[in-house]
Structure 1
Amino acid sequence: MKQRVTTILKLGTPIIIAMLSQSLLNLVDAALVGPLGKEALAAVGAASYANFVALSLVAGLSAGVQAQVARRFGAGNSRFCATPVNHGIIIALFFALPVSFLLMLLAPWILQIFNQGELVHDTAVTYFRIRVMSLSAAALCLSFRGYWNGTGRPSGFLRILVVSHLFNALVSFCLIYGIGPFPAMGVAGAALGTFLAMYLAALLNMFSLLGTAKDHGFMDFRFLLKRDFKQTFRLVRLAVPDSLQQMLFSFGFMMLFAIIAQMGTSELAIAHVLMNISLLLILPGIGMGMAANTLVSQSLGAGKPDKAWRWGWDIVMVAASVLLVLSLPLLFAPEFLLGLFLHQEALVEMGKIPLQLTGMSIFLDAASLVFTQALLGAGANRTVLGIRAAGQWLVLLPLCWLVGPVLGLGLTAIWLVQALQRLISSLAFVMVWQTRKWERITV
């Protein structure tokens, strides 16, 4: 068991750090924009969740590419391991780029859902328009991440991500406040810094894989000359259910944010911070799940379904332990954490109990986070879609609307509902994993 835990941590730790690093994009913006006032923070929150929905349109690329790469790697077919990345690049250029232009034009209507006044709305539109133009860079990075994780080398992606996020923090700070030769752009500067960091990460990944994955078929686009798009469509079939479930998940988050917006600007600003901390906290679980994606896919590719099943449960146990430890600061130092983003004592006090509830409930999410990714690695994308969509749209959102705007029970009641939804989703994923029907799926 010790050797298995070592394997999990060796593969999962770089993925976790990379996932945490990605989440810092939004947290850095929130921390830097916080001193500009609650209206600016609310605007960044509204635009961030709209951008979260936009990113979900291509989010399935990561798991799809990773599953295909890992299957080839597990079967010893390393010569063609990187070919799924090539198809991901095509999708990034011919789907993500046009969609980003369309969403930029639709921004004023999309963000009207939050209804927080002209100042917040106009600021949110500006932030969203800049951020959404990095959608194609995100699609490229997701494809590259699928290769790094699928071949069991997540540290390659991590190194690049750390560089790009350090760049983001520095440039965003300078653009927000007008440091040195940069103009003071406020919220727009935060968005522009993140935009530039995303494209830097895509370029660095491209150059890195040109040196390490050329022998694995990277950048071999001869299929375009032959007009053979079978592999592209296969990747699309794998990616669409995952993108759809992530779109429903992220759109659900945006709708939850819109529900909270009905309660006031203060609640909206607090919720933005709470949700970002919550998303940051679950990322180690998602990172462990992505390790499960690789180990389960490689085991199935090698014809060892029993080994794949055991990997799933072993990783759940490790993820639960990690999440338990990480939740402790939320339980015992909520004022300190909230004070990093909220600069009014009344706002910190309002967010204290919901943040503690996040720390207590995140442990319940371990099975859901790991088995989601493990099932994606096995190809059970539609099952994941069904469970995630039902939990969010049939349980979470209706109950949050009831206890929030309708009954006026406040943020604490909404965060209690989220804890209930996490428990239900985890139980559902455990039941699916135990049936082992996913063993017979081909990708």
Structure 2
Amino acid sequence: MSSPLPSKSPARLSLFKLAGPTIVGNLLLSVVHLAAIRIVAALGSDAVAAVIAADRIYMAVQLIVFSITAGTTAMVAHAWGGNKPEEADRVVKLSAVVTLIASASLCLVIPWLARPLVGIFGLQGDMLDQSALYLTVLVFFNIFFSFLAVISAALRAAGDAMTPVWVAAIGNVINIALAYALVYGVGIIPALGILGAAIAAGLSYALVAIIFYLMWRNQRLLLKPLRQRFWESARLRKLIRIALPAGIEQFVFNVSIIAFMWVVSLYGTEAFTAYGIGVNVLSISIVIGMGFAIATATMTGQNLGAGQPDEAEQAAWRNLKISFATMALIGLVLGVNARVIGSFFINDALVLDYLVALTIMVAVVQPMMSIEFTLGGALRGAGDTRSPARIMATGFLLGRVILTAVFYWLELSVHWIYAALIADYIIKSAMYMHVFRKGNWKTAYNGGP
């Protein structure tokens, strides 16, 4: 069965057509997370802490899926840019199978580890049990999430950023409605507390995955399934070669976040809750950066696949200028309105004070985050996932581990712990600029330096 070739030259790809829908989709996802926190907040700050802890661990265990989709993005973008839709189909199928195996393995392991994992944040008693159950439920639904992550990444890499948005929007609406009904109980539906929020999220993942699968199988997507072999050792090795450093990067990132949250938890539930809420509030700006990252990865990968390395580099620099200005503006808005935003989610005076301080500090680093997202996306789209891993590890070690340890040893306030984030992003943004300017990423896909 034949498949249509890409409809336009990679050089003509539009940043806003790629980044815009992705940003909207990620914003919708952030709204869902914020809505879940808002819904659970009525149960008390301990319940919010339990959800935040479980969500953080869940995001950490998903590093396998996210690392594989990094390989999917690079390989599909190169195949599509080189007018090879049949190879893009093979990559999608291979990635889906690998992530399915990984997700099934997590279903066997996490139920045994859930309680000690969420327990590192200082949860105790009933909240510890509920947080562990919340995590376990999400992991079982991760089988569905893995497929939608692969197909969404592949579609964006091929240039279709809109379809993942509207399909996910359906799941998001249902997620919020189900969360309210299952947390508090409606009619014959019993009140399940924070467990209800986990079930609602899981069901929305399942729904979106099923819709995507049916559309894909029925030839309704840009990437169409073909009758062909896809399991080939050379293709699998390339996927692993690209995915492995991305997995290491994700591991370092999640370890840094968890370690950072653990240190914050030593300052009390209020400081921990403020950090958890603050990260979700600021994810609104972060997902915008992710939109630029994914768009730049697509443009870089397709241009390199089409043999246009100079256009790939120029597109990355153009995107960086736009993302830098955009995220600087967003950081300003968030920083100025920090207390107003925080007041919407929490009434506790101490938690709110912590939240305002954190919001202002992270607002300061928004322009530097744009560098990490945009140039990081360019490197990953080129197949260079080793450099982002090295950069992440360096920022984590110097910016978070050492500084945080020094601040805690000096018995400084939690505000100083929050401030370590600034050093982290200064280091990473400087390293990204240096690595990208060297240009070695242009030959990384085929195993270059």
Q: Normalised by the size of structure 1, how large is the TM-score?
A: 0.93
Q: Does the CA-based 8 Å contact 1:83-1:220 persist in structure 2?
A: no
Aligned residue in 2 for 1:27: 34
Aligned residue in 2 for 1:308: 312
Q: Does the CA-based 8 Å contact 2:178-2:200 persist in structure 1?
A: yes
Rate the CA distance shift 1:207–1:335 in 2: closer, same or farther, 3 A.
same
Aligned residue in 2 for 1:423: 426
Structure 1 residues 44-193: aligned runs within 5 Å: 44-193=51-200
Rate the CA distance shift 1:344–1:439 in 2: closer, same or farther, 3 A.
same
Structure 1 residues 245-260: aligned runs within 5 Å: 245-260=249-264
CA distance in 2, matches of 1:123, 1:393: 33
Structure 1 residues 355-370: aligned runs within 5 Å: 355-370=359-374
CA distance in 2, matches of 1:432, 1:212: 40
Please tell me whether residue 386 in structure 1 is matched to residue 395 in structure 2.
Answer: no
Structure 2 counterpart SS, 1:116: coil
Structure 2 counterpart SS, 1:21: helix
The correspondence for 1:334, drawn from 312, 331, 338, is 338
CA shift at 1:300, angstroms?
Answer: 0.6
Rate the CA distance shift 1:138–1:244 in 2: closer, same or farther, 3 A.
farther
The letter of the residue matching 1:411 is V
CA shift at 1:63, angstroms?
Answer: 2.1
Identity in percent: 21
Aligned residue in 2 for 1:396: 400
CA distance in 1, matches of 2:269, 2:247: 31
Deviations 1:242-274 (A, max 9, x none): 122112101211111111111111111111101
CA distance in 2, matches of 1:111, 1:331: 30
Structure 2 counterpart SS, 1:114: coil
The letter of the residue matching 2:418 is W
The letter of the residue matching 1:265 is T
Aligned residue in 1 for 2:410: 407
Length, aligned pairs only? 436
Q: Does the CA-based 8 Å contact 1:26-1:48 persist in structure 2?
A: no
Structure 1 counterpart SS, 2:159: coil
CA shift at 1:411, angstroms?
Answer: 3.1
Aligned residue in 2 for 1:442: 445
CA distance in 2, matches of 1:403, 1:312: 37
The letter of the residue matching 1:316 is L
Stretch of structure 1 that moved more, 353-362 or 261-270: 353-362
Aligned residue in 1 for 2:46: 39
The correspondence for 1:266, drawn from 244, 267, 270, is 270
The correspondence for 1:284, drawn from 256, 274, 288, is 288
Aligned residue in 1 for 2:3: none
Please tell me whether residue 371 in structure 1 is matched to residue 375 in structure 2.
Answer: yes
CA distance in 2, matches of 1:15, 1:175: 29
Structure 2 counterpart SS, 1:36: coil
Structure 2 counterpart SS, 1:327: helix
Deviations 1:69-113 (A, max 9, x none): 111111112233222110111112222112233112211122221
Structure 1 residues 207-246: aligned runs within 5 Å: 207-212=214-219, 218=225, 220=227, 222-223=229-230, 228-246=232-250
Q: Does the CA-based 8 Å contact 1:371-1:433 persist in structure 2?
A: yes
Aligned residue in 1 for 2:322: 318
The letter of the residue matching 1:198 is Y
The letter of the residue matching 1:49 is R
CA distance in 2, matches of 1:41, 1:310: 44
**Higher helix proportion (structure 1 or 2):** 1
CA distance in 1, matches of 2:412, 2:222: 59
Rate the CA distance shift 1:348–1:25 in 2: closer, same or farther, 3 A.
same
CA shift at 1:221, angstroms?
Answer: 6.2
Structure 1 counterpart SS, 2:345: coil
CA distance in 2, matches of 1:223, 1:364: 40
CA shift at 1:60, angstroms?
Answer: 1.5
Q: Please tell me the root mean square deviation across aligned C-alpha atoms, in Å.
A: 2.0
Stretch of structure 1 that moved more, 284-293 or 326-335: 326-335
Structure 2 counterpart SS, 1:154: coil
CA distance in 2, matches of 1:215, 1:185: 40
Please tell me whether residue 432 in structure 1 is matched to residue 446 in structure 2.
Answer: no
Structure 1 counterpart SS, 2:188: coil
CA distance in 2, matches of 1:442, 1:373: 14
Segments of structure 2 that go 5 or more residues without pairing to the other structure are: 1-10
The letter of the residue matching 1:180 is G
Q: Does the CA-based 8 Å contact 2:155-2:222 persist in structure 1?
A: no
The letter of the residue matching 1:64 is G
The letter of the residue matching 1:415 is Y
CA shift at 1:28, angstroms?
Answer: 2.4
Deviations 1:140-166 (A, max 9, x none): 122101221111111011111111111
